[in-house]
A = this chain, B = another copy of it.
Amino acid sequence: MIEVDLVEWIRKHASVGRSRIVLGIGDDCAIFRPRSGEDLLFTTDQLIEDVHFLGNASASTVGERALARSLSDIAAMGGEPRFCLVSLAVPKRKTQRWIEAFFRGLLSLARRTNTPLAGGDLAHDDKVHCDVMVCGAVAQRKALRRDGARPGDELYVSGRLGKPWNRRIQPRLALGQSLVGKATSCIDLSDGLSLDLHRLCIASRVSAELDRVPVEKGATLERALHGGEDYELLFTLPRGESPPPRTMRIGSIVRGPAGMVVFEGKQVKPHGYDHFRKT
């Protein structure tokens, strides 16, 4: 029974250590004991072969990326990761070694970010399909949301945009946590600045004026504006609030039609990766 061995292998490597996971892999459900005074954050993201990565991508890179995308959502709300669940479907031709490499990549990032693997589901499918759920925590009522930007706020990003796809994602967890109680709104740039800023402005019922777009070396302005997969944080601070180190001011929030974004005197249409995104 390959299954029992594999699950046992995952369980051993998923050490939940001194976390709040009371019961991890091996029962019908995982059991988590919340700390009082905290709100819990939940996000889930699919990573699908031939849609989000190519079949020849290394298993450990796929595993790491699957977790990193969800961690980026936790970062955007100012949360500390608490645990993750991993659903993985793989073709029968994939070896146990491939699956172990997938989990090695995922669990290496899980350890670095204190995100114990508490459970999940394994199945067979024609292509690799994974879905990673991450739970994070933040002090009650302190989560960074999209809907708090106000006219007069300054707009910042955590890094240059238009990064090459398929590079390693570093979820901005420490930055997100440092913005709690300071930033009026925050979102992670997964679908492109033009679309994600549009979303933030829709949620907050404001417009935005971009003054500059910091372009990654080797990338184009077009790519920095509309390309996705940057996984930087986009956030707003009240005017006068000093920004964290290594973040860049790119514009400001203004009164105007909800969702409108202006750059160099022209309206920027939301052109990012828009079909079928997060609910």
Q: Say whether B79 contacts A276, CB under 8 Å.
A: no
Q: How far is the CA of A140 from the CA of B34 in the complex (A)?
A: 10
Q: How far is the CA of A2 from the CA of B275 in the complex (A)?
A: 7
Q: Say whether A274 contacts B3, CB under 8 Å.
A: yes
Q: Say whether B119 contacts A43, CB under 8 Å.
A: yes
In the complex this chain forms, how many copies of it are found? 2
A122: B residues at CB distance < 8 A: 276-279
Q: Say whether B32 contacts A40, CB under 8 Å.
A: yes
Q: Say whether A133 contacts B85, CB under 8 Å.
A: yes
Interface residue? A236 (CB, 8 A): no
Q: Say whether B279 contacts A121, CB under 8 Å.
A: yes
Q: Say whether B41 contacts A29, CB under 8 Å.
A: yes
Q: Say whether B25 contacts A43, CB under 8 Å.
A: no
Q: Say whether A48 contacts B131, CB under 8 Å.
A: no
Tell which of A70-78, A209-217, A221-229 binds the partner.
A70-78
Interface residue? A188 (CB, 8 A): yes
Interface residue? A124 (CB, 8 A): yes
**Residue interface bits A21-44, CB-to-B below 8 A is 1, else 0:** 011011111111110101111111
| A239–chain B nearest beta-carbon distance, Å | 24
A279: B residues at CB distance < 8 A: 7, 10-11, 25-26, 86, 119-122
A136: B residues at CB distance < 8 A: 29
Minimal Cβ-Cβ distance residue in B for A146: B27
Interface residue? A187 (CB, 8 A): yes
| A204–chain B nearest beta-carbon distance, Å | 11
Contact of A123 among B4, B31, B46 (CB under 8 A): B46
Q: How far is the CA of A221 from the CA of B32 in the complex (A)?
A: 38
A30: B residues at CB distance < 8 A: 41-43
A264: B residues at CB distance < 8 A: none
Contact of A39 among B33, B52, B76, B85 (CB under 8 A): B33
Contacts A46-B87, A87-B46 given; does A121 touch B125 at CB 8 Å = no
Q: How far is the CA of A36 from the CA of B133 in the complex (A)?
A: 23
Contact of A203 among B27, B79, B86 (CB under 8 A): B27
Q: How far is the CA of A133 from the CA of B42 in the complex (A)?
A: 10
Q: Say whether B29 contacts A34, CB under 8 Å.
A: no
Q: Say whether B89 contacts A28, CB under 8 Å.
A: no
Minimal Cβ-Cβ distance residue in B for A4: B274
Q: Say whether B125 contacts A51, CB under 8 Å.
A: yes
Q: How far is the CA of A23 from the CA of B41 in the complex (A)?
A: 9
Interface residue? A45 (CB, 8 A): yes
Q: Which 7 A-B pairs have the closest CB atoms?
A: A29-B41, A34-B34, A28-B73, A28-B76, A29-B43, A131-B131, A122-B276
